[in-house]
Amino acid sequence: MQTGKKGIRIIIAGGKTGGHLFPGIAIAQAVKTEDESSEILFVGTGEKFETETLEKYGFANTKIDCSGIKGKSIKTKLASIVQIPFSIFQAIKIIKKFKPDIVLGVGGYSSGPVVLGAKFCRIVTAIHEQNSIPGLTNRILSRFVDIIFTSFENTKGFPESKKIICFGNPIRKTAKIKSKDCMETGDAGTKTEKSGEETKNKNRKTDTGKAEKKFTILVTGGSQGASSVNRAFLDAVKLMDHPGNYRIIHQTGRFDEKMIVKEYENMGINAEAKAFFYNMPVLQEEADLIICRAGAGTLSEISAKGKASILIPYPYAANDHQWYNAEFMAEKGAAWVIADRKVSGKLLKEKIESAENNPGILSSMARAAKKLSMPHADKNIAVKCLQLAEKAKEI
């Protein structure tokens, strides 16, 4: 359904990690679907992951100079605080040049100065909070913005307000990028699907000679990777009696890519391993079991696709929000949860084999996950933002 007026201009502020950036991309995609003539500008930190991802999805982006406060040393915190007025000034310059009708913050410290700059310029503002416990930036901004979008109905940390709307966490569509970006890896990665090994890798022959789909495991620590998850899974593979019977898809993160690819080569396993997959939604669809952190974006994607998962929450997430995200999934019967300090190759092996050998349990978790999905979050947020922007233009 198309909105009435055309040519709405929107700034989406925040990013750095996939957990903040991908919901912003999903909203931007939905805005373009609702109003093709809309113009969208992302404002973030300018880090490589951010800029490369936005370029692949075809969205314009710029940056401001800013840094985080929470979890830093006193010296770094003071430097970051001193920098805030300059960051807001940069944001106001961008706002005056782009002339947005609405500014949406999606979390991360770069969203703070931009949303505050928009308030100074008397522009409609909104934020989206992905997690069950808001980050510091969104907790501060919640007192000033016109509307707050949340992903969980039980989101804690915001004052009670009629401006809070729970639409869920938006899920991005796969980027329209060249096949080599999805199928090949960087210098260290494997090239299983491009090398003619696809059928061999994904299927095995049964006694009757027919091809049987391999049990597919997707391992990911998010856009940045997760060393503890990577190490535990490699240990699990080493303990398996027949690891070649599995199809393994492993997003390693850039720091562990070379080491993990080498480990698979040494074990003689034809895994699909690379630092980052831009076709993650497709790979999630193909997985029977997903082993991952508990960021809100990942959980939303898992729920939308109805997938069973083993969640290993990042232990240093702000306010331990990943643990609460995972706990919510587990309480609904949608996932198994293992604390990062307790994860091991032995425990992962046991869980993987239990999932494979008990299809009823796997199906039950998948159904429970599907029930938690809010598949129209991207459209609902996009439509609401466009309505707010159109109303502001009429004033």
Which tokens is 142 given? Answer: 């919640």
Quote the pTM value. Answer: 0.76
Give me the pLDDT at residue 175, please.
66
Give me the pLDDT at residue 216, please.
98
Q: How distant is the alpha carbon of residue 103 from its chain centre?
A: 21
Give me the pLDDT at residue 186, please.
35
Give me the pLDDT at residue 395, please.
72
Q: How distant is the alpha carbon of residue 192 from its chain centre?
A: 25
Residues of the chain short of pLDDT 70, as ranges, are 1-6, 68-73, 175-212, 223-225
Choose among 204, 258, 27, 269: nearest CA to 130: 27
Contact status, residue 129 vs residue 115, Cβ threshold 8 Å:
no
Phi, psi of 314 (to 5 degrees): -65, 120
Q: What proportions of the chain, in percent to the nearest 5, are helix, strand and coil?
A: 45, 15, 35
Give me the pLDDT at residue 200, please.
42
Give me the pLDDT at residue 297, please.
85
Give me the pLDDT at residue 173, please.
81
Among left, alpha and beta (phi > 0; psi -120 to 50; other), residue 278 is: alpha
Domains of the chain and any CATH numbers:
9-169+375-394 (3.40.50.2000), 183-371 (3.40.50.2000)
Q: What is the rounded CA–CA span in Å between residue 60 and residue 67?
A: 22
Contact status, residue 222 vs residue 300, Cβ threshold 8 Å:
no
The partner residues of 250 in beta bridges, in order of sequence, read: 219, 273
Q: What is the rounded CA–CA span in Å between residue 357 and residue 336?
A: 16
